[in-house]
Amino acid sequence: MMPTIRRKRMRSRHQDGWIEERGTRQRIWYGHYYTYLTDANGQEKRRHVGVRLGEKSKMRKWEAENKLRGIIATHAKHQPGADHQTLAWFARERFLPMHSPQWAPATKELNTGNIDHHIVPALGDLLLTEIDKFRCQVFLNDLAARGFSFSLVDHNRTLLKSILEEAIDAELIGRNPARKLKMPETKMPVKFVLPKDQARTLLDSLCFRDRLIAMIAAFCAMRPGEIFGLTWSSWRGDHFQIESTAWRGQFRPGKAKTKGSKAPVIIPDVVLPLLTAWREQNKNAPEDALIFPSKAGKVGHCIRPENWLHRRVHPIAKTLGIAAVNFQILRRTFATNAQGGNLKDVQTHLRHSTVGTTANVYVQAIPESVRKLVNSVADDVMSAKPITEQIQ
């Protein structure tokens, strides 16, 4: 039977450790010291610990030495260290309490779910000091092998890297084993785009209110939380000004996905008459009332996007033979149909922080458009006059 190992402790005799310079492009001070553990037989074993102290350009050598002595003193007092902290404990008790207050509700739900359902089951029982690049890479490879999407695998890669980066800042580990992980091959996501005829047929088949909601989603390319968080004061003539949002049926005044999301949203001319008629039907509603209130009518309660789709849109789409439709598809459809214009204009309308998100995630290739482009280039080259004819 293997001897049990007791919790690690710092050896009682004094030590200062030692420091060295590391790095090529950026020079840093790196500290070293020892911890000691005693097994069930009373035998003491020594273990080396390395820790990043700071950039050489911002810290003198004596400052780095003092910082290392402080770290050693902290461990000597048996304060929490990586030697007996698991990844699960650190992620839930340190990382989430520090970062989740700055996250939007959807981001918090996504990150917490990834930690609870993927990262902790796979790596949570390991001590921080036991986590290495091999284990991290195998974790990602396993997610991909189980058929998860690129987005989920990439989210977990980024989240794991962030958790371990926080452990470095807490001076619990010396380097981040997840810093250079490679993305494994994942299944290609199917990014549906509604053909124009199907989009037109669907919109014509919806009742007045639902058609207006769907047209705002399709042509204003707004997110569901933005649509169901719209108040009458958000309507500024030819555009919407995002003032609030909704999430899971709860009204969130003054909240938006990002600062850039609060930019004006152009309302196309085809939507304005419907919006005017809807206002006439709700002429007694105050300016701070929701444009599309829930039937429950409770203050602070908004339509839940998934319920609206399930009850009002999907049954009609199924009747029409439309395989899939949701807010993401409508938003992506607009971006794809708008690709003949200026890409920067499309980015502005969708209110993305970078044009790369617009081009690489939302705009999808249209085969017929690609065919026209190829034929246009080929015809132009083949019909060009020879240089000798041009001179004459």
- So what's the pLDDT on residue 42? 54
Residue with tokens 């708008």: 338
Residue 270 confidence (pLDDT) above 80: yes
Q: And the tokens for 334?
A: 């607009």
Give the burial class of 190: count Cβ atoms within 10 A of its Cβ; 0-12 exposed, 13-18 middle, 19 or more buried.
exposed
| Domain membership flag for residue 380 | no
Q: What is the mean pLDDT of the chain?
A: 83
Last residue of a domain, which of 79, 109, 130? Answer: 79
Average pLDDT over residues 160-164: 96
Q: Which residues contact 132 (CB under 8 A, 6 or more apart)?
A: 177
Residue 228 confidence (pLDDT) above 60: yes
Q: Which residues contact 348 (CB under 8 A, 6 or more apart)?
A: 263
231 and 352: one domain? Answer: yes
Inter-residue contact 264 to 348 (CB < 8 Å)? no
pLDDT confidence band for 6 (50 / 70 / 90): very low
Highest mean pLDDT among 34-48, 244-258, 355-369: 244-258
23 and 158: one domain? Answer: no
Q: 133-145 and 150-169 helices cross at what angle (nearest 10)?
A: 160
Domain count for the chain: 3
Q: Tell me the H-state helices in 146-229.
A: 150-169, 196-205, 208-219, 224-227
- So what's the pLDDT on residue 388? 57
pLDDT in tens, 113-122: 999 999 999 9
Helix/strand number for the chain, H first, E second: 18, 7
Q: Which residues contact 225 (CB under 8 A, 6 or more apart)?
A: 245, 246, 247, 252, 257, 305
Residue 247 confidence (pLDDT) above 80: yes
pLDDT confidence band for 291 (50 / 70 / 90): very high
| Domain membership flag for residue 221 | yes
Residue with tokens 């380097």: 175
| Domain membership flag for residue 188 | no
66 and 92: one domain? Answer: no
- So what's the pLDDT on residue 77? 56
pLDDT in tens, 187-202: 777 778 888 899 999 9
113 and 23: one domain? Answer: no
| Type of residue at 180 | K
pLDDT in tens, 322-347: 988 999 888 888 887 777 667 777 77
Residue with tokens 């700055």: 102
| Domain membership flag for residue 335 | yes
- So what's the pLDDT on residue 103? 87
pLDDT confidence band for 4 (50 / 70 / 90): very low
- So what's the pLDDT on residue 80? 47
| Full residue range of the structural domain in which residue 96 is found | 87-169
Task: Tally Cβ neighbours within 10 Å of residue 86.
Answer: 19
Inter-residue contact 362 to 331 (CB < 8 Å)? yes
Angle ∠(113,326,183) on CA atoms, nearest 5 = 45
